[in-house]
Amino acid sequence: MRLLVMFLLLIGLSSCKSENQSKSRAISEVEIKTLLQDSLLNVRAIAIDENNNLNFATSNGEIGGKSMNLKNQESVVINFIIKHDSIIPNFRSISITEKGIFVFGISSPALLYKIDTDSLKLVYKETHPKAFYDSMDFWNDREGIAMGDPTDDCISIIITRDSGETWTKLSCDDLPKAKEGEAAFAASDTNIAIVGNETWIATGGRASRILYSNDKGKTWQIYKTPIIQGKLTTGIYSLDFYDAKNGFAIGGDYTDANANTANKIRTYDGGKTWEVVANGQSPGYRSCIQYIPSGNANELVAVGFKGIDYSKDAGESWKHLSDEGFYTIRFLNDSIAYAAGSGLIAKLIFR
């Protein structure tokens, strides 16, 4: 009987292994379908809403989204432009909840707007000369967070607990102290990663670290990373977590985009420790990293102005799929994503 049980267990394990292997895949190409192209277009803030529609905000104050043209083909259009007096905000962050769309401009005056079907409302304004906000995300429809460069001796963090109607900036007394030259990059609106109540924030520059909160921003601690750092242009540019344990960060130095030393790092323990992967291997600098939704923390796509790259083994190795440049990407499902950059918004189909 004991031998029979062991035999059945071995059969079961073998079956599970075969099943997992049968579900594995390797993407070999990407089809790029242009949805909007304009030489003046500059987009680093995109989001997909609950109806699977693309929304975006541009560096020229424009707000837009997906539409269907007269031939019933998918396209995107610019719906309107936001101005504050004579100021046109440079939007680098966008988030969507059931209460509306939120867009955030980067520099002073830092302007955060809430957009719904009936109104456009300025819900936060910061005039500190050093104000520069890089990324925004929400835990749920009531609670959200945005982060930016230090104005004092800590990373700037603002939080809402009332569906985005009001935002409060955290005191540096309640945050880890920033190191000299530590800030962040408004490259792709992916400095913040959220899983449940847990939050990770990536910094960059002369120091590149992870701020972590397990209680939706009430308390914080700091984790070191081995990513390249030491210059104002080095460090983490993008961060993503597949679940509460598996995370990946990418960056490098955008002024030396082909350099690929210590620019890709991975964690298996929720960000407490990180390891460099694919060291000295392409890709070099990239501005956005995203896990493929059902890729079991193994499948990743990275984009930057040097192209699109894919990993099927949690970042150990990479395949270059395209030289087409993008700043940011978001997945609709395992095979389809939207990406945006300089002069272009596109739909990407991975095969």
75 or 159, higher pLDDT? 159
- Tell whether the model's pLDDT for residue 290 goes beyond 50: yes
d(CA 156, CA 124): 14
Q: Which residues contact 103 (CB under 8 A, 6 or more apart)?
A: 45, 57, 63, 82, 89, 91, 93, 94, 112, 113, 115
What Å distances lie between residue 258 and 40, 169, 302, CA to CA? Answer: 26, 37, 14
* Per-residue pLDDT at 69: 67
Pull the structure tokens for residue 344: 């272009």
* Per-residue pLDDT at 72: 74
* Per-residue pLDDT at 3: 40
Beta pairing class for 336-340 and 328-331: antiparallel
Q: What is the pLDDT of residues 321-333, one digit of tens each?
A: 999 999 999 999 9
What is the chain's mean pLDDT, rounded?
A: 93
Q: What is the pLDDT of residues 251-281, one digit of tens each?
A: 999 999 999 999 999 999 999 999 999 999 9
Closest of 114, 185, 97, 91 to residue 147, by C-alpha? 185
- Please answer whether residues 67 and 75 qualify as being in contact, where contact means their C-beta atoms are separated by less than 8 angstroms: yes
Residue 277, helix vs strand vs coil? coil
d(CA 197, CA 211): 14
Domain boundaries, the chain: 36-350
Pull the structure tokens for residue 198: 């847990």
Which stretch of 11-25, 139-153, 251-265 has the lowest confidence by average pLDDT?
Answer: 11-25
d(CA 18, CA 124): 53
Residue 255, helix vs strand vs coil? helix
- Tell whether the model's pLDDT for residue 166 goes beyond 70: yes
pTM equals: 0.93
Q: 36-350 has which CATH code?
A: 2.130.10.10
Closest of 334, 254, 261 to residue 288, by C-alpha? 254
- Tell whether the model's pLDDT for residue 2 goes beyond 50: no
Verify cis geometry, omega within 30 degrees of 0, for the bond prior to 283. Answer: yes
The mean pLDDT value for 179-191 works out to 98
Q: What is the pLDDT of residues 74-121, one digit of tens each?
A: 889 999 999 999 999 999 999 999 999 999 999 999 999 999 988 999
Q: Name residue, tokens 């007096």.
A: 85
- Tell whether the model's pLDDT for residue 26 goes beyond 80: yes
